[in-house]
Structure formats: C-alpha cells, structure tokens
C-alpha cells in the first residue's frame, strides 16, 4: 500500500483551490475507501436561453400559467420535460 501525503491546512478557499489545481489527489486520498454520497436537495444546473415566440402564443402560455398559478417560464419547462419524457 502506498503511503499517502498529508493534506496541508489552507488559510483560504482560494489557497486550497490553487493547491488542488496543481496536485494529484490520488497522492493524498485513498479513493478505494470513498463512499457514494446522495445530495437530494441539490438543484440541477440551469442555463439561460433566449427563444423568440409569437406574441399571441406567449400570451396564451401566460394565461395557461396564470390558471395554474405558476410562472409562465416554469410552465414551459414542465411542458418541455413532459414532451421529452413521453417521446422516449
């Protein structure tokens, strides 16, 4: 078994980030003892996009969203996700 190096104490997060950018973590951590972690409250990353819609269509989407008491962008996401799921 290979002897692991000791992880230094860092004064700042920036110092730690710079350290790990230039060092191989396998020299400091025994990855064979790693355990899977579940982070149920983590929100998926999102990306802002721009889409052009006819004003009449957007108005109808906003009316449907209002009926459901939700933001229109959220309703669009729900509809898109449902369509993708159903097409699989």
Range of the domain at 64: 55-87
Number of domains observed in the structure of the chain: 1
Q: What is the pTM of this model?
A: 0.52
Task: Locate 22 and state its tokens.
Answer: 């230039």
Q: Read off the pLDDT of residues 39-63 as tens digits, 9 standing for 90 and up.
A: 888 888 889 999 999 999 999 999 9
Rg of the chain over Cα atoms, rounded to whole angstroms, equals 24
| Average pLDDT over all residues of the chain | 93
Quick check: is 45 in a domain?
no
- What pLDDT sits at residue 43? 84
Quick check: is 82 in a domain?
yes
Angle between helices 72-87 and 55-67 in degrees, nearest 10: 90
Quick check: is 78 in a domain?
yes
Quick check: is 9 in a domain?
no
Quick check: is 75 in a domain?
yes
- What pLDDT sits at residue 39? 85
Quick check: is 5 in a domain?
no
- What pLDDT sits at residue 1? 65
């Amino acid at each position: 078994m290979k002897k692991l190096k000791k992880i230094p104490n860092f004064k700042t997060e920036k110092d730690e980030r710079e350290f790990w950018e230039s060092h191989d973590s396998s020299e400091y951590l025994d990855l064979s003892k790693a355990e899977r972690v579940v982070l149920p409250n983590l929100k998926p990353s999102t990306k802002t996009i721009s889409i052009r819609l006819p004003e009449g269509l957007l108005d109808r989407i906003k009316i449907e969203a209002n009926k459901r008491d939700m933001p229109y962008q959220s309703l669009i996401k729900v509809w898109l996700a449902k369509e993708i799921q159903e097409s699989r």
